[in-house]
């Protein structure tokens, strides 16, 4: 009987030690998603005790991520929050909220910040912890100068974070500085596919010419562009996000290996 009790106690202790203490959920667009963003690089840097769930979806904005049902799936996941000592939800949008994207674009002055606030409120209401992330920079240069196309959306996210007392990862500012320092030649190596010859020639002059489209489009085949990330880019920016998260949310510092 004593041996049986001891065995049960040891089993309980082992279960308690291996139960994931925290969970991190990634919510955003393709620059965070599994096949094209920094999410895999980030999730590779959490300790084994952490559940890192990448629920980012390519082509989504603050509006379409909800409208197409992805947010409902996140909220369903949050119902089992009792299985963890805490769940943090990293929220990053902006790329597809910009004008000219039918069914996705949002109004910068009103709709975009309102959508972010609603996400923050609903995460808190579910007993989890929201973290806002400013959008990852694009890597397009002109005459040696990195072009900033997302500054207004980054600023809107900063304001929402301040107004709602939500931790903020200013990925836009840090990624801008890093890519600017790299220059176009090195920055091109972060893409999903090697740069075409015309792009390499332009980079030598400090420019980012439009990449030619492949003659035959193969769904799922990596292509070069100035937005999405290959393995090198995912590792680089995933580490950047891990560092920022460890600084912004000290409770998670011991669970990250930036």
What is the greatest pairwise CA distance in the chain? 79
Q: Rounded distance, CA 84 to CA 95, Å?
A: 32
Q: What residue has token string 């015309």?
A: 198
Q: Rounded distance, CA 242 to CA 247, Å?
A: 9
The mean of the pLDDT values for the chain is 92
In total, how many domains does the chain have?
Answer: 1
Let me know if residue 237 belongs to a domain: yes
Q: Rounded distance, CA 210 to CA 225, Å?
A: 8
Let me know if residue 197 belongs to a domain: no
Rounded to an integer, the average pLDDT of 88-103 is: 97
Let me know if residue 11 belongs to a domain: no
Any idea what DSSP says for residue 136? P
Q: Chain centroid to CA 87: how far?
A: 16
Rounded to an integer, the average pLDDT of 76-100 is: 96
pLDDT at 219: 73
Let me know if residue 4 belongs to a domain: no
Using one digit for the tens of pLDDT, what is the confidence trace for 113-170?
Answer: 999 999 999 999 999 999 999 999 999 999 999 999 999 999 999 999 999 999 999 9
Residues near 247 by beta carbon (within 8 Å), at least 6 away in sequence:
none
Query: Does residue 107 surpass a pLDDT of 70?
Result: yes
Let me know if residue 216 belongs to a domain: no
Let me know if residue 204 belongs to a domain: no
Q: What is the CATH number of the domain that holds 127?
A: 3.40.50.1110
pLDDT at 258: 72
Let me know if residue 172 belongs to a domain: yes
For residue 128, the enclosing domain spans 21-140+148-183+230-255
Using one digit for the tens of pLDDT, what is the confidence trace for 206-234?
Answer: 999 998 887 666 777 899 999 999 999 99
Let me know if residue 9 belongs to a domain: no
Using one digit for the tens of pLDDT, what is the confidence trace for 4-26?
Answer: 444 444 444 444 445 558 999 99
């Amino acid at each position: 009987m004593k041996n049986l009790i001891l065995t049960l106690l040891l089993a309980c202790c082992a279960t308690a030690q291996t139960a994931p203490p925290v969970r991190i959920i990634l919510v955003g667009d393709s620059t965070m998603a599994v096949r094209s963003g920094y999410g895999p690089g980030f999730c590779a840097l959490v300790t084994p005790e952490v559940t890192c769930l990448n629920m980012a979806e390519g082509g989504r904005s603050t509006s379409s991520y909800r409208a197409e049902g992805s947010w409902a799936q996140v909220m369903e996941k949050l119902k089992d929050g009792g299985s963890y000592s805490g769940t943090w939800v990293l929220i990053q949008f902006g790329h597809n909220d910009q004008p000219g994207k039918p069914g996705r674009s949002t109004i910068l002055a009103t709709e975009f910040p309102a959508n972010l606030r609603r996400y923050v409120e609903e995460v808190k209401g579910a007993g989890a912890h929201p973290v806002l992330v400013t959008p990852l920079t694009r890597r397009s240069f002109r005459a040696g100068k990195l072009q900033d196309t997302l500054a207004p959306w980054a600023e809107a996210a900063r304001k929402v974070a301040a107004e709602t007392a939500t931790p903020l990862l200013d990925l836009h500012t840090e990624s801008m500085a890093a890519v600017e320092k790299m220059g176009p030649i090195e920055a091109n190596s972060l893409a999903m596919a090697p740069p075409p010859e015309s792009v390499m020639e332009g980079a030598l002059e400090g420019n980012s010419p439009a990449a030619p489209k492949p003659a035959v489009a193969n769904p799922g085949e990596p292509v070069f562009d100035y937005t999405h990330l290959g393995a090198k880019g995912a590792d680089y920016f995933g580490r950047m996000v891990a560092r920022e998260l460890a600084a912004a949310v000290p409770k998670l510092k011991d669970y990250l290996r930036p």
